[in-house]
Every structure is written in structure tokens, then in C-alpha cells.
Structure 1
Amino acid sequence: MAGPRHPAFELAKSFLGAPRFSAALTQVIIGSQLATLLLHELMGWAGALAILGGLVVLASLSLLAQREEIEWHGLLPISLLVFVGWATISVLWSQYNWATAGSAIYLLSVTMLGIYVALIRDTIQIARAFGNVLRGALLLSLVLEIFSGVLIDSPIHFLAIAGNLDVLGPIQGIFGTRNQLGIVTLVAIVTFGTELRTRSVPRNLAIGSLVLGGLTLLFARSPIAFGTLVVVMLATLALYGLRRVSPERKRIWQFVLLGSTITVGAIAWAVRTPIINALSASNELNQRLAIWRPIRLLIPTHELEGWGWAGQWWEGIPPFTYIRDGLQPSGLNAYLDVWFQVGLIGLFAFVFMVGLAFIRSWLLASRQRSFVYAWPALVLVVLLVTGLAESSLLVEFGWLTFVVCSVKASRELSWRKAFAATRTWVPSP
């Protein structure tokens, strides 16, 4: 029988397991991944990685302190484990073993942080935490843009801020490019809208945050973000309608919606040229085609298993140096990037993982009465659609957010939990 524990141990457990500590750590985790570029430029990779390592240690200890309060059965989606596992073992055949080893450790670390946030906090608490951090990030971005574009009228080179606010954009904020700023802003708008709808923050704060998000999106002038915004609005309308359909008719309307989505997608593909011109995205497309073509030429060399996981591209390492002189940090398409790095097997695992996460989130959003369940579904819409033109889904804030949404959806609609529940019922003889 275990003896009495030392008072210091009990004090540490009480501190690390306290709700206030978990809430604070959650916001620091989200903020650190959201501001990775800023941290890297201010502290270098050594400082940014030290912060990541420290957060992993704190999250692990906090999780350990609260282990008795967590339902461990069906803890993680198997699809997530399969993809992360495949990316990790790609170090065995990688063409750049040491880079893959480092990238795999980074992927596992961010995944662990996402799992911590999803397990320890409720969905409404997670949305609030994202809202607080995103408000700060957008405000900081606009302040720096005002300082650069209006007050000193000069770029801030180390943050890649061009100082274009005086001509109404495009602006980049603390995220390096207008497209990254646009993606973050879309997640922010979904989050602020959820706060307003659930009344989780004062009404004036929620409305002011939405105005902040709208102005930032407008000044970012990101064609990718504008196009995704249309999809998000359509998804929101679809959810609004589904939530008001009677349960016995909901399944029929889900299939109707699926068919309509496929039809609209096919039409959009058929008339893609006018759409691209309307969004003024021809230059964006040409830049991406210049990267996608050499990637498609390199994929057949290791088509099944891939070249090896890298996440964000490493400078000075073949084959990344062969693609547009190695100037790009990614393949600017999450799905093509996954195919390139971990092959067809990894791509199938990735598509299955994101598809399953979205289906679970969508079903929850359409079934549950609280609007907060729409937050993961709409955020996933942003991440998966922008993944067609950016690879930010695979790293840092994008990957953390995906893991949080995936784990929350899996815990609510886990087939393993349902199977375990049926096994606990024993028929009478």
C-alpha cells in the first residue's frame, strides 16, 4: 500500500492540475504556434524550439496531474495515429534522414500539444482561448502595419511587412504573407462569430472582434482567403438549415447536401478560369504552377513511400533546392506536399484522416443544439479548403488547430467508445 505523498508533490499536482493553469497554458500553446514566425525572428530557432520543448514538458506534467479525470478509452483517432506514425517512420527511407528526424520530433511535439488542449478543455473553452489569442494577434498585426505603412512609411524587413497599409494593402501582419494572414483571419472570424452566437464574451467585444477580422481580411487582399470565405459562408448556411430539419429527415438532407456540393464543385472546376480572374488570382495560380510542376516530376521517383517527412521545407537540402531554387518554404498545397513527402500511402492516410475528422465534426455540428459544435466544423472547412493552395495545414498553428478539432470530434463520435459501451451490457440468461 502506497505511503503518504510528500506535501511538495501534492502542491505541484494541485498547481499543474488547476483549471486556471490549464486555461493559461492552453492560451500560451495556441499563441506560441500562432506566432512561430515572430518568435523565430526575435529569438532564432533555438529560442522557438526551447519554448516548444518547455510547453511539451508542462503539458505532459499537467496531463499527468489530471490523469484520473480523463476518460482514456478511445482517446485518440486511429487515423491521426496512423498518419503521424507513417510520417515518423519515413525517417527509415528518407533522402534527408536527420532533417526528417527533426521534423518528426517537431510534428510529434505539436501533435501532443494539440491533444492536451483537446483533452483538458471543453469546446467552448477552446473557442474562447482561440478567440483571445487571435484577437491579440490581429491587433498586433494591425499595429505593426500602421507603424510601418503610416508612421514611418518603411518596410519591417525581418517580419516581411511591406508597409502597404497606406495604399490599403496587401498587408502581411506577423504571419509573413498575405495568404497566411488571410487564413488566420478566417479562423478568427469563425471563432468571433461563435463567441457572438454562444454569448461566451460580451456582445460589444464579439462585434468589435468581427469588425477587426473583417478589416484585416479586407486589407490582406488575399484571393485564397476571399474564395475560402465564400465556401465558409455557404457551409454556415447549410449548417443553419440542417440544424432546423427534423431528425428523421436530416439524413436525407445530408445526402442532398453532399450531392449538391459535388455538383457545385464540378461546375466550379469547369468554369475555374472566370472564377480565378474574378478573384484576381491569376498571378497566385501561376506562382503555384511553377512549383507544382517540378514537384509532380519528382514524385514518381519515390511515389509510394515519398522522399521523407519534412513538414516545412528545409533550406539547402535536395530535392527542395531543385524546386524554384529552394526559395519556397512549402509546396503551397497541403495534399500535394503530403504526396511528395510521404508518398501515396501517406496521402491516402492523410485524406482519410482529414475526411473522417470533417465528417465527424459536421455531424456533431448538425446534431447538437449548442452552436459551439459548429466551430470545429467551420474551422476545418477553412483549413481543408485553403490546403488546396497553401501547406500551412501541415505545420504549427494549422496542424495544432486540426489536431484539436480532430480529437474533439473523435471523442464525441468514437466508434471504439460506442463498441465498449455495447460490451458493458450483458444479456440476462
Structure 2
Amino acid sequence: MEAIRRSVLPPAAAHLLGSARFASALTLCILGAAFSTHLLRATMGWAGLLAILIALVALATLSLLSRRESIDWYGLPPITILMFLGWVILSVFWSTTTIVSGTRVLYLLLFTALAVYLTLVRDTIQLVRALGDVLRMLLGLSLALEVLSGLLLDLPIAFLDIQGNIAALGPLQGVFGSRNQLGLVALIALITFAVEFVTRSVPRMQAMFSIALATLLILLSGSPVTFGAFVIVGLAALALAGIRRVPAASRMYWQLGLLAAVAVAGGVLWLLRSGILNLLNAGSEFEVRTALWREIQRYSQLNSLQGWGWVGAWQPSEPPYLWLNLATRGTQNSALSAFFDVYFQLGLVGLITFIALLGFAVVRSWLLASEKRSSVYVWPALIVLALAVTSLAESTVLGEYGWMLLIVCAIKASQAMSWRDALRRHEPSSIPEE
């Protein structure tokens, strides 16, 4: 086996690809590409973006090959991920757009492979630091282009979908294509920067400036979806901080009490949803979503069990997505909800597996953040929660950077709380010699 490895990778190449410095640089490139997909498509087209992603996967594969002896593959990946991806792949065979479905499945698998690489070669704190550096750059670039468009040129930057509304204090789009996308990325950045501050991973002034930048762009995005997610994540962070200070002996009772409080609060929010939507000025957006969801439910009855086949982002010119847009008089490229999107594309089977994937990721990461002393474990818990909440009104978690972060956090949480790992710990530590 060693001879095979040496024949595939020359010693010099294996040393370079297996080095920590190369893994660090490749991590920055992967995260930068994942969060810059809209920017790359706008400047280089789909061909340029795909070439970059394929090159990153090839480099990640070579890097893993050179480091495989030091990597623990046991219990990877979580079964919920395998079940969901398996159903996604199978859906190609009954899809109404087979070629499109096949290419979109491969696109999803590219980001899955990159996410697996990140979890295998980088610790959580290393991922936080790398993501912090990437998002500082992209948020800074977004603000600079908004200032250029709205104040200096007073013209929109059409190819980036920047409308130049900064003089009116938003809504801004940055380099992410829409205000909801900018808001979600800024929220992810805020969580990341806060963890950097708490863990003292970067200089204090740099962390404070980064937090201020992310908060400013959340406000200027004018995204009601992000505002709602911001409030929920903020309350969750406070609850998590309190639970982490509770003695371990009574922590489970506090967790159950918190779960009951969340259930009651969810019921109250549902009863007061009209007033909350008016407060967030999200009435028109919610009406668009509810109209689209009604049509999705109607068309899903034709393929309720298996769905119409995976495509990820919609093809507005192809049925059945053409029918949905005609029925709602819109030009949507998603169901504006990850749950409705999965139900429409993958049916009830896909929806159940997706809920299991998301649910296990939330529960495992939350329990880890509650029990582990290091503050870095708070990061995956809050990131997954932000993605889960946003999934109610956006489909970002089903592709590109949203999917990558979900897989990273799910695997990180599973590595520490996997039932397969528990079985391994109960196996005999040594085998008697014959």
C-alpha cells in the first residue's frame, strides 16, 4: 500500500500536499469559493466556477491521499447524510429533467466532498479562524462596492445585482446577489467573529471591528428573514451561555425546561405571526411565500412520496417549475423554504431524511456546546441553528455555502457524539496474542 502511495505521489509532492500550510491555504480557497459563488458566476460564468470547484476537489483529494495515515475515518459520515444524499442520487431516475438533475446532483456532491475535506483536516477553531478571514474580506468588499455604487457612482452594478441603495440605508445586496443572502452571510460572520472574540483567536480590536461590520451589514441588508433569525440566534446564545454555567448534575433538567419554553414560545409566535410580520415589514414577502407554498402543495400531490427529482436551484423555464412561476406570476429560483423545496423535489421520503439530518445536527451540536468547556463548541451549534431557522423562509441550506456549513457542523458534532463511536469505545482495547 505504501508503494502504491509513493507511485501516485512523488515524495516532494506528498510532502507539500500533506503539509499543514497547504491544508490551511486550501481551506481558505474552499471557503472563499463557496461564499463567492454568485461573484464568480457573475465574473467568470458557470464554466469558470465549475473549473475552480473541480480543481479544489482534485487538490483536496491529493491532500487527503498524502495525509490518509493520520486521518481517523471511523464513523464518517453520519448516516443521516448518507441517507439524504442517497435519495438525492436516486431521484435522478424519476426526474422530469434527468440531465439537469444529474448535473445538479454532481454539483451538490462537489460541495459535499469539500465539506468532508474541511472536517477531516481542520479542527473547529481552525475552521473558525479561516472562515473569519474569508468573511472579513467578502463583507468588506461588499460594503466597498455598495459605497462605490450608491455614493460615488450613483449607479447600480447590474452584473452583480447591486442596486446602490446605501444612501437610503438599504436594502443592500453586496456580492451575494440578494439582501437575504447578504443578511444570512453577515449573521454567520457575526457568530464567527463573536467566537473569535471569546476565544481570543484574533487581536481584540480586529474582532470588535469585525463584529461591528457584520452587525452593520445585517441592519443595512433590510432582510426580515435575517432579522428574525438574528433575534432567535441571539436568544439561543444567551440561553446557551446560561446552561454552560449550570452544574453538570442539574444541566439536563435545565435543558428540558428550555425545550418546554421553546415549545411554548413557538406556539405564541405562531398565534402572533400577523403582528410580527407587520413589525418586521415582511407582509408582502410572506404573502409571496404562502402563495408559492400553496401551489407547491397542490403540485406535490402528483408525486407526494418521491417528489419531482432533485435540481437544487430551480430551472424557471422547465416544468414543473415553469408551472409554479406561472401560477404565482413570479420568477422564483427556489421554493423560498428549504422544507418545501425538499418536499417538492424529493417527496415525503426526502423531507423525513432532511429533517432527520437537520434535527440530529442541531441536537448534537447543542449538547456539545452545553457540555464542553471550550467556547469554540458554541460555533457549530449557533451556525446550525441559524441555518435551520433561515430554512423556514429560504433554501440556502440546500446548496453551496449553506450545504457546506451544514455538512461541516453535522460531521463535527457526529464525530464527538456518534453512536458508532460509542460502540467502538466499548470494544476490547486489545486482542490477546495467539
Give the aligned residue type for 1:372. Answer: V
Match of residue 11 from structure 2: 10
Change (3 A) 1:88 1:7: closer
Show the counterpart of 2:387: 383
1:103 aligns with 2:107: no
Q: Is the 8 A contact 1:290 1:324 kept in 2?
A: no
Aligned partners of 1:29, 1:154: CA distance in 2, in Å? 32
The letter for the 2-side match of 1:347 is L
The equivalent residue for 1:238 is: 239
Which runs of structure 2 are paired with 1:271-350 in the superposition (5 Å)? Answer: 271-325=272-326, 327-350=331-354
Deviation at 1:87, TM superposition (A): 0.4
TM-score computed with the length of structure 1 as normaliser: 0.97
What is the alpha-carbon distance in structure 1 between the residues aligned to residue 118 and residue 288 of structure 2?
36
Percentage identity across paired residues of the two chains: 48
Q: Note closer, same or farther for the CA distance 1:8–1:117 as it changes in structure 2 (3 Å cut).
A: closer
Point out the more displaced range, 357-366 or 281-290.
281-290
8 Å contact from structure 2 (residues 233, 385) kept in 1: yes
Report the CA distance between 1:8 and its aligned residue: 6.7
1:143-158 map, 5 Å: 143-158=144-159
1:134-185 Cα deviation digits (max 9, x unpaired): 1111001001100000000011111111100011111100111111110111
Equivalent-residue separation in structure 2 for 1:289 and 1:146 (angstroms): 35
Q: Which amino acid aligns with 1:407?
A: I
Q: How far apart are residue 7 of structure 1 and its match?
A: 11
Deviation of 1:315 (Å): 3.6
Q: CA deviation at 1:52?
A: 0.8
Residue 360 in 1 paired to residue 361 in 2?
no
Q: Which amino acid aligns with 2:381?
A: A
Describe how 1:29-428 pairs up with structure 2 within 5 A: 29-325=30-326, 327-425=331-429
Q: Which runs of 5+ in 2 are unaligned?
A: none
Instruction: Structure 1: state its 5+ residue gaps.
Output: none
Alpha carbons 2:171, 2:179 under 8 Å: kept: yes
SS of corresponding position for 2:426: helix
Q: CA separation in 2, counterparts of 1:333 and 1:182?
A: 16
**What CA distance in whole angstroms lies between the structure 2 residues aligned with 1:2 and 1:98?**
40
**Per-residue deviation, residues 102-131 of structure 1 (Å, max 9, x unmatched):** 111111111010010011100000011111
- Aligned partner letter, 1:190: I
Task: For residues 85-113 of structure 1, give each alpha carbon's deviation from its aligned partner in whole angstroms, at most 9, with x where no partner exists.
Answer: 11011111111111110111111111010
Paired amino acid for 1:304: L
TM score, norm. by length of structure 2: 0.96
State how far apart, in whole Å, the 2-side matches of 1:261 and 1:252 are: 14
3-state DSSP class of the match of 1:114?
A: helix
Q: How many residues align?
A: 428
Letter in 2 for 1:405: C
Per the alignment, do residues 2 and 96 of structure 1 end up closer, same or farther by CA in structure 2, a change over 3 Å counting?
Answer: closer
Contact in 2 for aligned 1:182/1:222 (Cα 8 Å) = yes
State the secondary structure of the residue aligned to 2:10.
Answer: helix
- Equivalent position SS for 1:308: coil
